[in-house]
Amino acid sequence: MRGKDNARSGGEILIDQLSIHGVRQAFCVPGESYLAALDAFYGSDIDLIVCRHESAAAIMAEAVGKMTGRPGVCFVTRGPGATNASAGIHIARQDSSPMIVFVGQVGRDMRDREAFQELDYRAVFGTVAKWATEIDDPSRIPELISRAFHTACNGRPGPVVIALPEDMLRERVSVADAAAYAPVETWPGQSEMQRLEGLLRDAKRPIVLAGGSRWTEQASAQLLNFAERYALPVATTFRRGHLIDAMHPCYAGDFGIGPNPKLLARVKGADLVLLIGGRFSEMPSQGYSVFSIPEPQTKLVHVHPGADELGRVYHPHLAINAAPTAFCAALDALRPPKEIAWRGESAAAHADFLAWGETATPVPGAVNLGEIMIWLRENLPADAIVTLGAGNFAGWVHRFYRVRKFGGLVGATSGSMGYGLPAALGMQCIYRNRTVVCVAGDGDFLMTGQDFATAVQYELPVIVVVADNGIYGTIRMHQEREYPGRVIATKLRNPDFVAYALAFGGYGAVVEKTADFPAAFAAARASGKPSIIHLKIDPEAITPATTLAAIREKSLAGRR
Ligand SMILES: Cc1ncc(C[n+]2csc(CCOP(=O)(O)OP(=O)(O)O)c2C)c(N)n1
Ligand SMILES: [Mg+2]
């Protein structure tokens, strides 16, 4: 509250700035190091969601940033709070998501004595955050928070970490607020768009890869309109399936881990690749094997909002420093040649995509995750949001689930386990009326499972589908391939996930055969509570295409 002298505490100035910049919810685990900021949330128009672990709070903020394009915000305490939040900060870095993490800090008069839980945040987060700083003077809060919002969003978005000395937050000063930040658009030049038009005129087998951040529903629609006019196949890169309606006739599929071999061949055989927004990093590039580095064997047009990314790994034939939003708007002006050499290719690519995920592959055991994904794609509302963490279970989501509306899939390209539940909570916080389903592995879920309590506390009716195979399946798969039969540190003895859900005050159901899933899902929805559906998966069902035993056998055979 402003005093008679118009002064506010550092904490009050800070929360006022967040409100001015449009923050509507923030996620936190409280700490005595930032009490004055916490107090300033009291009576503010920002919902402050209190979580059980900073990794969950940070992931919730990252997911909000990823999906809205506006920085997600979290508050954590110094030392252990900050290091607990580091997974979310790393995800925001790799996924190019705008995010601002506020960290408590020891008082200014104690700094550099390694006081209680003291860390040097500039050093600790220096290489993972886009910007890490500490605010020493409360009168500079409006300036530095304004910079934080611009830095998190401009160019290639990313995480900003701001340390807040506790006495600085208590100090009262009189200072004017800064105005709300406005996102800075990065437009392509006219001559670049003309060159692109020329390259497309000369191409024989072009393809579009969409990835990265700074997309909107409108940009996605503009891209698809362009793809229709040019009959271009459009694939999404690893964990970016939310960008495109999977049933659009130009959609060619998910180019992530273990992609459709026909899509892989298409990308490798393309003579022009239009990469929009993404970095074509290790996962979509299949271990940097698809294009040679630094000179790709095909003509690469790389469109990216961060100038530093252009030419960083791949030397593009044409580099366009633009955000997908601006670039896709500019696509409207491009005119296709009268004769399109590749006509029919987008339809063929879409048919290949549909065929690849049409029916579930047979797997050992009574619960087939592929059939469950097909049931979800046929029965979830079109605007449902599916979130996922990391593990082999995700392979079934990418192959058999189909996103129908922009933003319908939320995952971490960084492959951070434990992502799905907090991401689902973040989504349910901002989209109260959309159905939110988290698909998790057994190992994956328990990395952030404690925040099921947050779902119950805030009545966020997310439905978590836990694919329990009793193993850290991905690692066991690699183990059987590299060290066949020498199983170590990959077995899991799991809790009863139904009892777990009930103990937290949620709903739980177990599924021991595929046919029981629809009823379990209906009951979970009808309960109106956060729910866990515990799928009993046979550990042999390690991917949609092979079994653990087959991988071990193949590896042993290669050694004989
Ligand atoms: C935070 C984090 N720790 C460890 C890993 C390495 N890792 C990748 S997948 C995986 C196992 C996933 O197990 P689970 O969630 O049970 O899924 P499954 O593979 O069995 O389907 C591990 C340990 C990771 N990606 N992220
Ligand atoms: Mg598992």
Q: Which ligand is nearest to the CA of 393?
A: 1
Atom number of ligand 1 nearest to Cα 418: 1
Check pocket membership of 411 for ligand 1, CB cut-off 6 A: no
Check pocket membership of 237 for ligand 1, CB cut-off 6 A: no
How far is it, in rounded angstroms, from Cα 445 to Cα 442? 5
- 531-536 and 507-511 strand pairing: parallel
pLDDT in tens, 327-366: 999 999 999 999 999 999 999 999 999 999 999 999 999 9
Structure tokens given for 454: 């947050």
What backbone phi and psi angles, to 5 degrees, belong to 496? -80, 105
Task: Find the farthest-apart pair of alpha carbons in the chain and give their distance in angstroms, rounded.
Answer: 85
Q: Is the pLDDT of residue 526 over 70?
A: yes
Cα-trace Rg, the chain:
24
How far is it, in rounded angstroms, from Cα 405 to Cα 242? 7
Check pocket membership of 17 for ligand 1, CB cut-off 6 A: no
Dist. CA 451 → ligand 1 center (Å): 18
Taking CA atoms only, the protein residue closest to ligand 1 atom 23 is 472
Dist. CA 66 → ligand 2 center (Å): 26
- Mind giving me the DSSP string for 494-553? ---HHHHHHHHT-EEEEESSGGGHHHHHHHHHHHTS-EEEEEE--TTB-SSS-BHHHHHH
Taking CA atoms only, the protein residue closest to ligand 1 atom 4 is 417
Pick from 396, 474, 477, 491 the residue to mutate for probing ligand 1's pocket: most ligand atoms within 8 Å of its CB. 474
How far is it, in rounded angstroms, from Cα 392 to Cα 50? 31
Residue 113 burial by CB count (10 A; 0-12/13-18/19+): exposed, middle or buried?
Answer: exposed
Is 7 within 8 Å of 406 (Cβ atoms)? no
Task: Tell me how far apart the terminal alpha carbons of the chain are, to the nearest angstrom.
Answer: 76
β-bridge mates for residue 253, sequence order = 235
Give me the pLDDT at residue 1, please. 65
Q: Which ligand is nearest to the CA of 440?
A: 1
Give me the pLDDT at residue 277, please. 98
Angle, helix 261-269 to helix 345-357, in steps of 10 degrees: 150
Give me the pLDDT at residue 2, please. 73
Is 76 within 8 Å of 31 (Cβ atoms)? yes
Dist. CA 76 → ligand 1 center (Å): 25
Closest-CA residue to 511 (of 497, 493, 501, 525): 497
How far is it, in rounded angstroms, from Cα 254 to Cα 258? 9
Give me the pLDDT at residue 5, please. 81
CA angle 229, 232, 238 (to 5 degrees): 135
Check pocket membership of 537 for ligand 1, CB cut-off 6 A: no
Q: Which ligand is nearest to the CA of 420?
A: 1
Peptide bond into 183 cis (omega under 30): no
pLDDT in tens, 191-249: 999 999 999 999 999 999 999 999 999 999 999 999 999 999 999 999 999 999 999 99
Q: Is the pLDDT of residue 3 over 90?
A: no
pLDDT in tens, 469-511: 999 999 999 999 999 999 999 999 999 999 999 999 999 999 9
How far is it, in rounded angstroms, from Cα 282 to Cα 79? 32
Dist. CA 392 → ligand 2 center (Å): 8
CA angle 199, 202, 211 (to 5 degrees): 40
Peptide bond into 138 cis (omega under 30): no
3-state secondary structure of 366: coil
- 172-173 and 159-165 strand pairing: unpaired
Dist. CA 476 → ligand 1 center (Å): 10
How far is it, in rounded angstroms, from Cα 527 to Cα 559? 53
Q: Is the pLDDT of residue 4 over 80?
A: no
Average pLDDT, the chain: 97
Output b/e per residue, 18-42; b: 16+ Cβ within 10 A: bbbbebebbbbbbbebbebbbebbe
Q: Is the pLDDT of residue 24 over 90?
A: yes
How far is it, in rounded angstroms, from Cα 159 to Cα 61? 10
The Cβ of residue 51 has, within 10 Å, a number of other Cβ atoms equal to 27
What backbone phi and psi angles, to 5 degrees, belong to 305? -75, -20
Give me the pLDDT at residue 314, please. 96
- Mind giving me the DSSP string for 209-257? EE-SS---HHHHHHHHHHHHHHT--EEEETT-GGGS-TTSTTEEEEESS
- Mind giving me the DSSP string for 74-99? EEE-TTHHHHHTHHHHHHHHHHT--E
Q: Is the pLDDT of residue 388 over 70?
A: yes
Estimate to the nearest angstrom the gap between the alpha carbon of 554 and the chain centroid. Answer: 34
Give me the pLDDT at residue 560, please. 83
Amino acid at 161: V
Check pocket membership of 371 for ligand 1, CB cut-off 6 A: no
